[in-house]
Structure 1
């Protein structure tokens, strides 16, 4: 089309990326408060590595290296850091961020061309290659501000935290405090810190219409419905609904990972199917798999089905034969 007028949105890919990054800052800050300076260094390591590697790849492909500041590399790094154990060694962050940018993104042609979510692809690679480092969860050791004093625990300043089982592990099956899970007082990754802060950030993205509600709602329902049925059927063998929703990276996946514009379906009907599939796979892997957390595997599996979902559930093109016959 060459004639005006045209309607334009104020949003651009760069603006969207940085808004999403800003909404991730509160849960990241809370995660650092919970787990200590090692978590902060891990986040910064992932961010710097991702930007530098992206600039290098762009330079090698004869593109402008300044495109590394479009926010996509930073967002990938933040999501990867939030999926890592807070006490993971820094070389894990370097290796994971490099893999996410090179193999997960640039090898497909760069921003908008990748089939799989780069951060989740890197997480799956790390957990398969380095299972010990990727499953060493640390118990929270927050700074104490009570009694008008500031008490910093020694573990907050160290890089070797006290290990603990995640809320999704078999050891945690008997009972879980809903309030503690909701506010983030649990062992796990930075993305498992506060369901409340992730909900607030996701709500803001919905309010600004940067994401559609179809994927978050269908994903949460896809997790909650089988969890409710299985826990009602065998409460001693299956985790309750609130644990599935508030523990692990469920909230992070619902609002930030599965809603990735590049790797999710374009149609609303397709997004419902995609989100429900992610949720069901998350519950299935958690309940029957060897890994307590199934978000990364579930998202990558559903990423692979997106072309098929789009093929069958995409809306009819205006003026097409299907529309005329209808």
Structure 2
């Protein structure tokens, strides 16, 4: 009965359910690190995100996509634990409306809706998005015993990227892997994100080519800049597990709708994201860069895929002509 009611209003998208499954350990980890507020925040964002899509799809007599649940989770995981509820809600409404609905709904959006939402609140409400952070709990029961963990009051206790930008100090690698550091809700634990990436690749839901291309572009340019003696960036491995790079690589860059579709395009698209992220981190005022890098690369995807398809078609025509002349 429940299944029939669900299918009445929602599209059947098995791929999206797989992504949600991969995110469950990260959600549980976020509660452990920052408290139950993260789950409340996620619930509110999901209600308003699904509600916004319902309003638009109802007018077109279409079902709600299960992808909107993924959008809501990914968006929430990129937010600081202490962000005001109303700001998070405004962000998801904007993201679903202008990142998805205005393009015609699921499958037609050019940009990743979760990142559209994140970019909107990032530039509109910079203080709660870039200054107000929470300490990560360590040791059982951690955040399971509190609404939200204690707030960060000094730069020396801020996120790894901010600490390095302001003092040159690097958080120990073990903490970066485990995730008991200040940061966005779901972006702190490198281990959980990597395991999710392996699971998505195993299930053939996420493109390993895009992930590999992104890592190649990021580490390649990062190594060149670092080993040339630029002290403005950390060593490439630290940079790899800091900020939202890994989370963006696994979940945002591999979005099947806004990402590249052709095999060659996936590699180029991934490298582009990695390179742009490193450029932004090194030469701009932003400590991260992954969000903007993916959105910028999204704009080139249609042209990139069409160019590759056109090139392949041209090569086939040339091959046919040569074969015809040979005969």
TM-score normalised over the length of structure 1: 0.87
Q: Tell me the equivalent position of 1:24.
A: 23
1:131-157 CA deviation, whole Å, 9 max, x = no partner?
Answer: 111113424342632xxxx57698x42
Tell whether 2:139 aligns with 1:167.
no
Q: Tell me the equivalent position of 2:124.
A: 129
Q: Contact 1:223–1:244 at 8 Å: present in 2 too?
A: no
Which stretch of structure 1 is more off in the superposition, 112-121 or 315-324?
315-324
Secondary structure of 1:87's match?
coil
Q: Tell me the equivalent position of 1:157.
A: 147
**TM-aligned CA distance change 1:215 to 1:282, over 3 Å:** same
Return the offset for 1:122.
1.2
**TM-aligned CA distance change 1:188 to 1:322, over 3 Å:** farther
Unaligned runs of 5+ in 2: 1-10, 323-327
Q: Contact 2:240–2:246 at 8 Å: present in 1 too?
A: yes
Which stretch of structure 1 is more off in the superposition, 130-139 or 292-301?
130-139
Q: Tell me the equivalent position of 2:83.
A: 88
Q: Tell me the equivalent position of 2:68.
A: 73
Return the offset for 1:185.
2.0
C-alpha distance in 1 between matches for 2:29 and 2:103: 34
Which stretch of structure 1 is more off in the superposition, 234-243 or 309-318?
309-318
Q: Tell me the equivalent position of 1:244.
A: 239
Unaligned runs of 5+ in 1: 1-11
User: Which residue among 173, 178, 183 is the counterpart of 2:173?
Assistant: 178
Q: Contact 1:138–1:162 at 8 Å: present in 2 too?
A: yes
Return the offset for 1:168.
1.3
Q: Contact 1:50–1:101 at 8 Å: present in 2 too?
A: yes
C-alpha distance in 2 between matches for 1:172 and 1:78: 33
Q: Tell me the equivalent position of 2:317.
A: 321
Q: Contact 2:217–2:272 at 8 Å: present in 1 too?
A: yes
Return the offset for 1:298.
0.4
Q: How many pairs does the alignment contain?
A: 306
User: Which residue among 136, 140, 143 is the counterpart of 2:135?
Assistant: 140
Which stretch of structure 1 is more off in the superposition, 204-213 or 294-303?
204-213
Q: Which residues of 2 match residues 211-222 of structure 1 at below 5 A?
A: 211-222=206-217
Q: Contact 2:213–2:271 at 8 Å: present in 1 too?
A: yes
C-alpha distance in 1 between matches for 2:28 and 2:243: 18
1:155-210 CA deviation, whole Å, 9 max, x = no partner?
Answer: x4248722442211212533231111111122110232211111111111111111
Q: Tell me the equivalent position of 1:289.
A: 284
Q: Whose helix proportion is higher, 1 or 2?
A: 2
Q: Contact 1:317–1:323 at 8 Å: present in 2 too?
A: no
C-alpha distance in 1 between matches for 2:304 and 2:40: 39
Q: Contact 1:168–1:293 at 8 Å: present in 2 too?
A: yes
